[in-house]
Amino acid sequence: MQASTLTLEVRVSNMVAQNLYLKYGFQPVGTRKRYYTDNNEDALIMFTDPIQSLGYQTLLKELRQQLFHRLRDQVHQAGITAHVSSC
């Protein structure tokens, strides 16, 4: 799609989501007043740096590696638990 950056809106009260987005390189750049119609809550607007930049690509690579290692460790731990349970 040839996008150069990513953007999103998130509820200003949703700190869990904001922290996740920060982890993935999004930065707050502004707000949209009364963006959500269910309760008129403001939205925080977040953007990334250029997604093809070396910095952003390095961040994604590091996050993928962390996820791979975490999942591998969980599978390994589950395998040990299953083996011990079957004995």
Same domain, 44 and 6: yes
At 49-63, the pLDDT tens digits run 999 999 999 999 999
Place of tokens 């509820």: 11
Quote the DSSP letter at residue 49. Answer: S
At 16-75, the pLDDT tens digits run 999 999 999 999 999 999 999 999 999 999 999 999 999 999 999 999 999 999 998 888
Structural domains in the chain (count): 2
E-strand stretches of 1-87: 7-11, 27-32, 43-47
Active site residues per annotation: 9, 21
Same domain, 14 and 36: yes
Q: What is the C-alpha to C-alpha distance for residues 35 and 42, in angstroms, rounded to an integer?
A: 5
Structural domain boundaries, residue 61: 53-87
The whole model's pTM is what?
0.77
Same domain, 39 and 21: yes
